[in-house]
Amino acid sequence: MNRLCLAWAIGVWLVCGSAALADTFGSGANSFSIDFVSIGNPGNPPDANPNPAGAVAYPYRIGKYEISEQMIDKANAIGGLGITKDTRGPDYPATSVTWYEAAKFVNWLDTSTGSVPAYKFDANGNFQLWTPIDPGHNANNLYRNSLAHYFLPSENEWHKAAYYDPVAGMYHTYPTGSDSAPDGIDFPGDPNFDAVFYDGATNGEPNVSADAGLLSPYGTMGQGGNVREWLETQDDLRNNTTTEQHVIAGGGWGDSANVLANWNSTSAALNDQTNVLGFRVGSVVPEPCWSRLFAALPLIVFGRRPRRICDSKQRL
């Protein structure tokens, strides 16, 4: 193989192969990574349940797992966020977090990586709407700044990631890729389950974020059961006030199977703190790894501007 082509292939592996699934935040002992899955198939139809919901016109990413306690602890340590939560252990989902606190965590993900914060807070920490004079203002969503990289999933984004099957082109009733009720926790310590919810025996707490049952068709875990999750969306779907309750979805470890179904969602006040309520994070799709490769590693591949690429019959 041409040596330049070999160097180019190594660069692809370094830049594209190792950075496709997780984003890293913080530094040193307070470094952590969030695994994301890509949600493609833009322009998918809506589900008939509940509003309808689930139609998304663009590709995006969503966290594979619920945000864990250690992620909050490390962001608190670096960013001084002051987010309070339950303390079951570092790998358990962070619960008893208000919507405001979830939004501030997301904002820190943005600002700590050089992006614009998704949500607007004034100098006193009060939640605000973005206005037309703000860069990134989106008249269709006064909550989320359009220039932000990370955000709380909207109801449509969350619903699609949980229930839509891109291969079959249809929505399932449960976020385990099935229309049949999943198997929950049947007895204390039950090792075999499809989702973490009440199915005959009360689980005293959620499972760790990475052990919450079967994956959705897109590859997310725990969108049904384990803990309920804050969504970005206002209860009436308008996102035009700072006081309206917000949608929560997915059910928790003590809920019955029907709470996990695609037609079931509820809402809570923005300052609600309950030990069954957590969240996961959404993200825009990063720029193609090919462009990052050429931006970051041009000298590795070429040493100068190339005339031709990877053609063993040509000399550079």
CATH number of the domain to which 59 belongs: 3.90.1580.10
**Containing domain of residue 310, as a range?**
1-23+290-316
Residues 314 and 197 grouped into a single domain: no
Query: Torsion over CA of 163, 166, 167 and 173, rounded to 10 degrees?
Result: 10
Residues 308 and 279 grouped into a single domain: no
Identify which of 68, 65, 67, 100 has the alpha carbon closest to the alpha carbon of residue 82.
Answer: 100
Residues 55 and 175 grouped into a single domain: yes
Number of Cβ within 10 Å of residue 312's Cβ equals 8
Tokens of 306: 């190339």
Number of Cβ within 10 Å of residue 133's Cβ equals 6
Residue type, 196: V
Residues 107 and 237 grouped into a single domain: yes
Residues 173 and 42 grouped into a single domain: yes
Identify which of 157, 147, 285 has the alpha carbon closest to the alpha carbon of residue 232.
Answer: 157
Residues 219 and 312 grouped into a single domain: no
- Beta bridge partner(s), residue 215: 221
- Looking at the 3D structure of the chain, how many domains does it have? 2
Residues 75 and 142 grouped into a single domain: yes
Residues 137 and 196 grouped into a single domain: yes
Residues 70 and 129 grouped into a single domain: yes
Is 0.75 surpassed by the pTM of this model? yes
Tokens of 216: 């959705």
Provide the residue-wise pLDDT of the chain in tens; the chain has 316 residues. Answer: 455 444 444 444 444 443 348 999 999 999 999 999 999 999 999 998 767 899 999 999 999 999 999 999 999 999 999 999 999 999 999 999 999 999 999 999 999 999 999 999 999 999 999 999 999 999 999 999 999 999 999 999 999 999 999 999 999 999 999 999 999 988 888 889 999 999 987 778 999 999 999 999 999 999 999 999 999 999 988 999 999 999 999 999 999 999 999 988 899 999 999 999 999 999 999 876 544 445 444 544 444 444 333 333 322 2
Residues 251 and 296 grouped into a single domain: no
Residues 186 and 104 grouped into a single domain: yes
Residues 273 and 314 grouped into a single domain: no
